[in-house]
Amino acid sequence: MQLVWFKRDLRSEDHQALATAAANGPVLPLYIVEPELWQQPDSSARHWGFVRECLQALDQSLRALGQPLWVIQGDAVEVLSQLHQRFGISALHSHMESGNRFTFERDLRVLALCKDKAIPWLEYRQHGVLRGLRQRENWAEQWERLMSKPLVHCPPLTGPGEGPFELDFECGTDLAHRQRGGAAQGWKLFDSFVSERGEHYRQTMGQPMQAGRSCSRLSPYLAFGAMSLREVTQRSRMITKTQYTAPSAWKSSMRSFDKRLHWHCHFIQKLESEPRMEFEALHRGMQALYPAEADPLRLQAWVAGQTGWPLIDACMRAVEHTGWLTFRMRAMVVSCASYLLNLPWQSTALPLARAFLDYEPGIHYSQMQMQSGTTGINANRMYNPVKQGFEKDPAGEFVKRWCPELEAVPKEWIHMPYKAPRSLQQKWGIKLGDDYPLPLIEPEQALREARHRLKQYRAMYDLGEEAKRVLKMHGSQLRQNRPNYNDSKAGLDQLDFDF
DNA sequence: GACAATTTATA
DNA sequence: ATAAATTGT
């Protein structure tokens, strides 16, 4: 009996596993519910509903092939070892996972079991991420080659996507309209993105009120493997080629989307190549940039959306509630927590991972470190939350949706109510420090302190050699070919060009 | 023993 | 996919 082990949920490329296995004889499709995995501090347990929907969709697809999904609870090694005792596993097929330390170590135990019982374990590559990679040269070309490879035949995609369900693209507070699991849902979103919603993706992806509609919203399906990145890439390129050839908003939006599909793997590859980055600074010299322990009051205020910086608070409350936030706002909340509040990224990474419906370890830790300045090869991006507020949410709509206590504040003051004269605050009927918190620290002062800390740190350590190592192993080719990457202007990461 | 072909290991 | 390790000539 061959096992096809769906390690997360419907890993689309596991159809390759399924197809390969089925060609060799009888197959048992298996999903193991691992209690320990779901108890990890970065666990997606609160999004179990989404995962269950993905599993139901997978089960329906498999039943159509006459092989229902087996779902067994327990430790992966124990479950596999018992199945081996009962049925005799002739081969184990699964996807190649780039996950957190828990899944890495679990896979090592599974590997030991397979070696012991002489079970061949075939791990199929998911997307553009390569195992055993030592340096980034030619990575982009390889990504292109992998993405243009022909798709593996998929069983019919059924599941909750067939119902009349509509996603609330405004990311409102009604959870009846949360994102739903299953490939069919994902493809429905894909269709509406490439035909209607995505036209102004490029211009509006940074604005929290508009991004919910103009972004694809495919991230959860890609994270849980309900959709294949290769299929999304190929289909969106085909649509661009046939429908959006002339220069237009559509064309630049589609190009922008394509870049992000590429970055998806670019970031996961970092964790694959250097798994210690889940816990340690990628640039070893940057380890001491942040205190070992987070200031508990500041951390608590940030997590709860009670910092007194309206846009940050609105973002934190929104992501806690809906599981989604547009990329630019994620960058901002992390940058402000790290630079302005001096909170170590390890402490803010966990509550965010739990909140994100689309938590993908490789992207998450790459971004946490990038927005905290610990990669040593990216430009330091410090955001002023007040300035960002007036730029990205000029009418204050987003802030008012998630911080209703600020409803009466006019847009001129909405992002800095604490600066308004007392008489005005009285007129609005708001008592700061009571109805809404006073800021933990004024952004301007926090920015001054952060710049000072960084300057002092840089003066204290010689960071050049390690930066070269990180660049060689993790830098995109675009950057490696730029000679003055250390120069403050040339050192901007490619991400900066696209906002 | 030198070199080519093949297998293995690779977070 | 790739490089290192192993086997074959």
Residue with tokens 């989604």: A324
% of chain A residues with pLDDT over 90: 73
Does residue A86 reach within 7 angstroms of strand C, measured from its CB?
A: no
Output the pLDDT for position A163.
54
User: How far is A445 from A265, CA to CA, in rounded Å?
Assistant: 37
A146 touches strand C (CB under 7 A): yes
Judge whether residue A76 contacts strand B, using its CB and a 7 Å cut-off. Answer: no
Interhelix angle A345-355/A327-335, rounded to 10 degrees, is 150
At residue A14, the pLDDT reads: 79
pLDDT of residue A190: 96
Strand A2-5 and strand A91-95: the pairing is parallel
Strand C-proximal residues of A, range 97-136, CB below 7 A, are: 130-132, 134
Find the range with the poorest average confidence among A54-63, A185-194, A356-365, A447-456: A54-63
Average pLDDT over residues A337-362: 98
Q: How far is CA A122 from CA A90, A102, A111, A414, in A?
A: 11, 20, 11, 56
DSSP state of A383: -
Q: What is the pLDDT of residue A113?
A: 92
User: What's the pLDDT at A22?
Assistant: 86
Separation between the CA of A339 and the C1’ of B2 (whole angstroms): 60
pLDDT at A492: 35
The residue-averaged pLDDT of A93-120 equals 93
Structural domains in chain A, CATH included, are: 2-126 (3.40.50.620), 184-273 (1.25.40.80), 278-474 (1.10.579.10)
Task: Read off the pLDDT of residues A255-285 as tens digits, 9 standing for 90 and up.
Answer: 999 999 999 999 999 999 999 999 999 999 9
Name the residue with higher pLDDT: A177 or A234.
A234
Residue A491 has pLDDT above 50, yes or no: no
Nucleic acid strand B within 7 Å of A126 CB: no
pLDDT (0 to 100) of residue A171: 78
The protein residue nearest nucleotide B10, judged by CA to C1', is A132
Q: Can you give the distance from the CA of residue A495 to the C1' of nucleotide C4 in angstroms?
A: 36
Q: Is the CB of A271 under 7 A from strand B?
A: yes
pLDDT > 60? residue A149: yes
State residue A267's pLDDT score: 95
Q: Where are the beta strands (DSSP E) in A315-404?
A: none
**Protein CA A204 to sugar C1' B5 (Å):** 56
Tokens of A392: 């990205």
Average pLDDT in chain A: 91
In the structure, what pLDDT confidence band is assigned to residue A157 with cuts at 50, 70 and 90? low
Indicate if the pLDDT at residue A108 is higher than 70: yes
* Residue A391: per-residue pLDDT: 98
pLDDT tens digit string along A202-212?
999 999 999 99
Give the mean pLDDT of A469-489.
Answer: 65
Evaluate if the CB of A42 falls below 7 Å from strand B. Answer: no
Q: Are strands A70-73 and A27-33 parallel, antiparallel or unpaired?
A: parallel
Q: If you average pLDDT over each of A181-185, A437-441, A469-473, which comes out highest?
A: A437-441
Task: Report residue A368 as tokens.
Answer: 């946490």
**pLDDT at res. A427:** 96
Strand C contacted by A145 CB (< 7 A): yes
| Residue spans of beta strands (DSSP E) within A292-338 | none
Q: Is the pLDDT of residue A494 over 70?
A: no
Q: Is the separation of the CB atoms in A295 and A441 below 8 Å?
A: no
Whether residue A164 is predicted with pLDDT greater than 60 in this model: the reply is: no
Tell if the pTM clears 0.75, that is, is over it. yes
State what percent of residues in chain A have pLDDT above 70: 93
Amino acid identity, residue A170? Answer: E
Q: Is the pLDDT of residue A160 over 90?
A: no
Indicate if CB(A99) is under 7 A from strand B.
Answer: yes
Position A253 confidence tier, pLDDT thresholds 50, 70, 90: very high
The integer distance in angstroms from the CA atom of A112 to the C1' atom of B8 is: 16
The pLDDT value given to residue A158: 63
A269 beta carbon < 7 A from strand B?
no
Residue A489 has pLDDT above 80, yes or no: no
| Structure confidence by residue, pLDDT tens digits, A44-80 | 999 999 999 999 888 888 888 888 999 999 999 999 9
Strand B contact with A272 (CB < 7 A): yes
Burial of A494 (0-12, 13-18, 19+ CB in 10 A): middle
A389 residue type, one letter? G
**Is the CB of A131 less than 7 A from some atom of nucleic acid strand B?**
yes
Q: How far is the CA of A16 from the C1' of C6 (A)?
A: 30
When mean pLDDT is compared across A113-117, A237-241, A286-290, A367-371, the lowest value belongs to A113-117
- Residue A131: nearest nucleotide (C-alpha to C1'): B10
What is the tens place of the pLDDT at every residue in A391-417?
999 999 999 999 999 999 999 999 999
A125 nearest nt, CA–C1'? C1
CA distance A246 to A240: 10
The pLDDT assigned to A13 comes to 79
Give me the pLDDT at residue A111, please: 93
Report how far residue A450's alpha carbon sits from residue A335's, in angstroms, rounded to the nearest whole number.
11
Cβ proximity of A338 and A385 under 8 Å: no
User: Residue A329 pLDDT more than 80?
Assistant: yes
Asked if residue A477 has pLDDT above 80, the reply is: no
Task: Assign A39 a pLDDT band (cuts: 50, 70, 90).
Answer: very high
pLDDT for the residue A410: 98
Report the pLDDT value the prediction gives residue A64, as an integer from 0 to 100.
Answer: 84
Strand B atom within 7 Å of A393 CB: no
**What does the alpha-carbon distance between residue A57 and residue A219 come to, in Å, rounded to a whole number?**
18
